[in-house]
Amino acid sequence: MHEDGTTKGEPMAARSGMRAFGRIRKLPSGYFQAGYVGPDAATHYAPHTFEAKVDAERWLADEHRRVGQPDWLPPKLRRAHEEANLPPTLADYAAGWLRSRDLKPRTRALYQGLLDRFIVPELGSVRLPAVTPTMVRQWHTSLGPNRPTQRAHTYSLLRSILSTAVQEQIIPMNPCLIRGAGAAKRKTVTEPATLDELRVIRENMPERLRLAVDLATWCSLRQGELLELRRGDVDIAAALLHVRRAVTRLPGEPPLVGTTKSAAGVRDIHIPPHVLPAVEHHLSRYVPPAKDSLLFVGRDSGEQLASSTLYRWFYPAREAAGRPDLRWHDLRHTGNHIAGAAGATLADQRYRMGHSTFAAAMRYQNTAKGRDKIIADEMSKMAGE
């Protein structure tokens, strides 16, 4: 005996719940199941049950209208077809967006981390056209103000992803409309190191790493550029560093050698005269004669020196100089500050630091190359050498 009063052997037409089209059956759970025999002579059920009988009846009425159409499809097949044509969710689109980008490994890892931690958990399941300015504002507020740089980077990433969706005509407008949200203002600006502080820092580093302080400061090198320098990149006769590559380290992975941060990072930097003797000393004592020998090598690994090793010595050295606020990256900006005081123009500084787009670098290069030796000489004069 069925719950609706019919027995197992009764024909379908005799059971309660039968209608002019389709049938509705009350389940033991109290919910209602709706189904009908389609033009293909197969029985098709609604993809879900209904709490109220009137909702089941409404679904059957809608299916009854569809059955008369020449393009009728079974409910399951139709649902799969509709889902295949829905706009992507933010999580799916962001994953494809990231795969299609030509990014440095560290940048790719940064973006993936921001997506995994802050964007996908809150907004990942939302389909792109459903992401609204209000939704973005509420999400941005939930990030909190304690880490302004991270918050700004996360917002900028979301804005960039959705900007591409606008270009690809998936959404009509970018819902990231919060003015200034992509820029973080530092609470304090680190003062460049003084010449005396630089001397103390250098003296408190192991001898094999003192040149790293010199080149980071006086040649304005990024850490990845510095740690990938090899003997063949140093031209003693011309007092030049040929910056062509950079090394990146990701947790748990071996060093990855690639191009510089941008096309403008490929540059020839004049070594200030007072730094040149330190370069010659370092090459003679710590660097094997082969052209591909690294200037700074991890003693245990034989690979590029790890940042953690550099910091293990740098942190006590900066403490000795009374500058616990100084980051390694600030040495590069200290050098830029000294170059400016020595008469370097904005174009000179951009060339020396490798800052700018490729097109801008080409505009600066012709003027800056001729002046870079003059700037290096003036920097040495400021150092008192």
- Residues facing 269 on adjacent strands: 241
Return the structure tokens found at 213.
């302080």
Are the C-beta atoms of 65 and 59 separated by less than 8 Å?
A: no
Q: Which helix (H) or strand (E) holds 242?
A: strand 240-243
- Name the residue with tokens 């001898």: 207
Contacts 24+ apart (CB under 8 A), 195-201: 195/382, 195/383, 195/384, 196/321, 197/321, 197/322, 197/323, 197/326, 198/321, 198/331, 198/334, 200/317, 200/320, 200/321, 200/322, 201/314, 201/317, 201/318, 201/320, 201/321, 201/323, 201/326
- Residues facing 317 on adjacent strands: none
Q: Give the whole-angstrom CA distance, residue 49 versus residue 56.
A: 8
Closest CA to 216 of 317, 352, 370, 308: 352
Closest CA to 72 of 41, 40, 48: 40
Residue 78: how many other CB atoms lie within 10 Å: 16
Enzyme catalytic residues: 222, 329, 332, 355, 364
Return the structure tokens found at 24.
């509705």
